[in-house]
């Protein structure tokens, strides 16, 4: 790349939605987007945590309509491009068209790691709309490398400009990230990306491992504002990459300042690795399940860790949030039978 060795997408205004129960306001989005744009962040993702049309009883209701948030972000960015996430089966091409009409320039189409085939029409539509297209293979720890390559090649064939290895559970270890990125680099002709979560305190290590193997598109979240224990922390990542001589084009001091002055005020409590977020990574459970599991645990009077461990055993994936309550109820029934 001419100016950047690594291109960073800031995901706090999408992934961070999970951390605050999807309660972003227009004012918060305007403030953070404007500051990120001023810091020369190239891409800013804005949407409900579960992507376009994610606001629902199952996934969590948004305080503000996401289209209002997307439009607000686009209106204050002079250089940064606005990205949106779409999960086929939740969002449709209609929401994609609407997002493109109000300023979104990148579509990140996300599927479970073994279900890339459901992304074809959405990637094609994004291309038709003139958007940059990204294939997002979630829960990447749940498929062997060979399967991951097969699915990534499908997304490439549909027209994706980039394919991401997405560690949705924060469960991957650095050597596993390296193997996956290396395999994609050897088999694809397009950009390779990595999206990490910090549930095992490995988001930064995994991101660096991905970059070492050739990933050039990287996700970060300012102040670690993301699902579970958060994502790779953007301002820290920029600092580390600068130390390594890897160019991002992002103003480090401005990132530090907006982290302290804006993002910290949005967080309801500091992002840290709690017993529940640690279990997400340990059991390989979708990071956005955290608040849902804690709510169910309180409702049924059970240990949230037991819910998450059982979800991991059942290999539950994104989109199966309704299973959380079912598992909690089953634990109560089981505990009652033992007494």
How many angstroms separate the CA atoms of 327 and 41, rounded?
41
Asked whether residue 1 carries a pLDDT value surpassing 80, the answer given is no
pLDDT average, residue stretch 40-62: 92
Residue-wise DSSP of 160-187? -SEEEEE-TTS---HHHHHHHHHHHHHH
Domain containing residue 133? 7-266
**Same-domain status, 318 and 181:** no
Residue 195 annotated in ligand binding: yes
Same domain, 215 and 298: no
Is 18 a catalytic site residue?
Answer: yes
Question: What integer best gives the mean pLDDT of the chain?
Answer: 95
Using pLDDT thresholds of 50, 70 and 90, give the confidence band for residue 336: confident
281 falls within a domain? no
Residues 80 and 207 in one domain: yes
- Residue 14, marked binder: yes
Instruction: Read off the pTM.
Output: 0.94
Query: Which sign does the torsion angle of CA 85, 89, 90, 92 carry?
Result: positive
**Domain shared by 204 and 158, yes or no:** yes
- Average pLDDT for 29-39: 98
Q: Is residue 191 part of a domain?
A: yes
Residue 323: CATH number of its domain: 1.10.8.60
Binned at pLDDT 50, 70 and 90, residue 319 comes out as: confident
Q: Residue 2 above 70 pLDDT?
A: no
The answer to the question of residue 276 being in a domain is no
Task: Please give the pLDDT value at position 285.
Answer: 94
How much is the pLDDT for 331? Answer: 93
Q: For residues 292 and 252, state if they share a domain.
A: no
Residues 43 and 76 in one domain: yes
Mean pLDDT calculated for residue range 94-114:
98
Question: Does residue 257 have a known ligand-binding role?
Answer: no
- Of 269, 274, 324, the closest CA to residue 299 belongs to 324
Per residue in 169-224, pLDDT (tens digit) is 999 999 999 999 999 999 999 999 999 999 999 999 999 999 999 999 999 999 99
Query: Could you say which of 18, 112, 122, 292 is catalytic?
Result: 18
Q: What's the rounded Cα separation, in Å, for the pair 320 and 168? A: 14
Same domain, 184 and 247: yes
Longest distance between any two alpha carbons in the chain, whole Å? 67
Interior angle at CA 238, CA 24 and CA 221, nearest 5: 20
What percent of the chain has a predicted confidence (pLDDT) above 90?
91
112 shares its domain with 187: yes
pLDDT given at position 97: 98
Question: Both ends of the chain: CA-CA distance in Å?
Answer: 64
| 199 and 319 belong to one structural domain | no
Among the candidates 266, 300, 328, a domain finishes at 266
For residue 45, the domain's CATH number is 3.20.20.70
197 in a labelled binding site = yes
99 and 150 in a single domain? The answer is yes
Q: Which of 266, 298, 329 is the last residue of a domain?
A: 266
Is there a domain that residue 21 lies in?
yes
Please give the distance of CA 291 from its chain centroid, rounded to a whole number: 16
The answer on 319 and 210 residing in a single domain is no
Examine the pLDDT at 48 and tell me if it is beyond 70. Answer: yes
Instruction: Verify that 296 and 258 share a domain, yes or no.
Output: no
Which helix (H) or strand (E) segment is 220 a member of? Answer: strand 217-220
How much of the chain, in percent, has pLDDT values that exceed 70? Answer: 99
What pLDDT is recorded for position 339?
59
- Is residue 282, in this structure, part of any structural domain at all? no
The average pLDDT across 60-71 equals 94
Task: Give the end of a domain, one of 206, 234, 266.
Answer: 266
What pLDDT was estimated at residue 57? 76
Has 286 been labeled as part of a binding site? yes
Residue-wise pLDDT for 261-292, tens only, equals 999 999 978 899 999 999 999 999 999 898 89
Q: How many domains does the chain have?
A: 2
């Amino acid at each position: 790349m001419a100016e950047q060795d690594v291109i960073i997408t800031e995901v706090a205004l999408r992934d961070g939605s999970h951390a605050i129960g999807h309660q972003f306001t227009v004012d918060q989005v305007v403030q953070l987007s404007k500051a990120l744009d001023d810091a020369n962040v190239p891409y800013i993702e804005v949407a409900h945590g579960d992507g376009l049309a994610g606001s629902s009883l199952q996934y969590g209701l948004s305080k503000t309509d996401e289209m209002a948030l997307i439009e607000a972000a686009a209106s204050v960015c002079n250089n940064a491009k606005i990205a949106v996430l779409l999960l086929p089966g939740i969002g449709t091409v209609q929401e994609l068209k609407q997002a493109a009409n109000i300023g979104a320039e990148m579509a990140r189409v996300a599927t479970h790691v073994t279900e890339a085939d459901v992304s074809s029409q959405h990637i094609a539509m994004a291309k038709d709309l003139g958007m940059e297209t990204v294939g997002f293979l979630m829960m990447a720890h749940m498929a062997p490398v060979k399967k991951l390559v097969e699915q990534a090649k499908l997304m490439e064939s549909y027209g994706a400009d980039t394919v991401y290895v997405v560690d949705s559970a924060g469960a991957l270890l650095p050597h596993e990230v390296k193997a996956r990125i290396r395999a994609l680099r050897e088999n694809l002709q397009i950009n390779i990306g990595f999206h990490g979560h910090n549930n095992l305190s490995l988001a930064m290590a995994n991101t660096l491992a991905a970059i070492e193997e050739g990933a050039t598109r990287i996700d970060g979240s300012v102040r670690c504002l993301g699902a579970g224990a958060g994502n790779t922390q953007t301002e820290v990542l920029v600092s580390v990459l600068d130390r390594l001589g890897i160019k991002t084009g992002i103003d480090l001091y401005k990132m530090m300042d907006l982290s302290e002055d804006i993002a910290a005020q949005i967080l309801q409590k500091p992002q840290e690795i709690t017993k529940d977020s640690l279990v997400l990574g340990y059991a390989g459970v979708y990071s956005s399940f955290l608040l849902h599991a804690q709510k169910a645990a309180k409702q049924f009077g059970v240990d949230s860790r037991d819910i998450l461990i059982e979800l991991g055993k059942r290999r539950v994936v994104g989109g199966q949030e309704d299973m959380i309550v079912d598992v909690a109820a089953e634990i109560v029934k089981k505990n009652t039978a033992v007494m």
